[in-house]
Amino acid sequence: AQSVTQLGSHVSVSEGALVLLRCNYSSSVPPYLFWYVQYPNQGLQLLLKYTSAATLVKGINGFEAEFKKSETSFHLTKPSAHMSDAAEYFCAVSVNAGNNRKLIWGLGTSLAVNP
Amino acid sequence: IAGITQAPTSQILAAGRRMTLRCTQDMRHNAMYWYRQDLGLGLRLIHYSNTAGTTGKGEVPDGYSVSRANTDDFPLTLASAVPSQTSVYFCASSPAIGYGYTFGSGTRLTVV
């Protein structure tokens, strides 16, 4: 069965430090992959997506992610964390489900940014 | 501003009462979804609709119903609320396969 695993439910970094949020997926066919961000008391917002084009995907707010088929990974990075990056981050994979496609969600990673 | 509007933003509901959560989008997206978000369980799909006039069951459909009479509206109804339906509910939409979802701001529902 397809699944998404986000390693680390909580990640804490210092302001200015590298942000690395890990996502591994299982899928028998090339997937579409997404990262979403959720700020407190808000809905989810699309950060970036991979849809079989360039393997390095750039998103909003300075984030990027690299699709690595051999590692079945789609880790999210940002070179320098900002206090405003503190939020919940969700990885998702779009897979075939019969005649439809559906999103499989990771459980999320809460990012804290320390001054 | 294009997007999804959910109403109400929060509600306290007595157990056994009927409740409809409203969701309206103005982006002409074909597909719409209802999720519930619970601590430690992430996002779980309740119901979805690939296009107006069709609906389908997600992972946790029991106790919920939906309708899709037109492209813009996708209401979620709790026929007889129970405390386990206390959650934050998100409506989302998507134009087509491979596109990301647009989410509403959510409805925080407490069933007492």
Min CA distance, B91 vs chain A (Å)? 9
State pLDDT tens for residues B6-32. 999 999 999 999 999 999 999 999 999
B103: nearest CB among A41, A43, A94 = A43
Residue B51's closest CA among B72, B34, B27? B72
Residue A28 CB neighbours (<10 A): 9
Whether residue A115 has a cis bond before it, omega within 30° of 0: no
DSSP B57-77: E-SS-TTEEE--SSSSB--EE
CB contact under 8 A, A46 and B100: yes
DSSP state of A15: T
Q: Which among B109, B102, B74 is positioned nearest to B88, based on CA atoms?
A: B109
Answer positive or negative: Cα dihedral of A112, B3, B4, B8: positive
pLDDT of A107 higher than 90: yes
CB-CB neighbors (< 8 A) of A101 in chain B: 97
Residue-wise pLDDT for A79-106, tens only, equals: 999 999 999 999 998 877 666 667 889 9
Quick: pLDDT tens for A11-66: 999 999 999 999 999 876 667 899 999 998 889 999 999 887 788 999 999 999 99
- With an 8 Å Cβ cutoff, are A43 and B105 in contact? yes
Q: In what order do the strands lie in the sheet with A73-78?
A: A3-7, A19-26, A73-78, A64-68, A56-58
Which residue of chain A has the CA closest to B102? A45
State how far residue B79 is from chain A, nearest Cα, in angstroms: 25
Residues of chain B with pLDDT under 70: 1, 97-98
Cα Rg of chain B (Å, integer): 13
Quick check: B14 contacting A, CB < 8 Å? no
Gap between the Cα atoms of B89 and B91, Å rounded:
7
Q: Do A43 and B42 touch (CB under 8 A)?
A: no
Q: Return phi, psi of residue A102, to 5°.
A: -140, 160
What residues 20-39 of chain A have any CB closer than 8 A to a CB of chain B? Answer: 32, 34, 36
pLDDT at A2: 76
Distance CA A99, CA A77 (A): 34
Q: Which residues of A touch B48 (CB under 8 A)?
A: 100, 102
**Which of B41, B43, B98 shows the shortest C-beta gap to A32?**
B98
Residue A9: name the closest of A65, A75, A90, A81 by CA.
A90
Helix (H), strand (E) at residue B106: none
Hey, is the C-beta of A96 within 8 angstroms of any chain B C-beta? no
pLDDT for the residue numbered A31: 76
Say whether B42 and A105 touch across the interface (CB within 8 A): yes
Q: Please give the pLDDT value at position A98.
A: 62
Neighbouring residues of A70: CB distance < 8 A, sequence distance ≥ 6: none
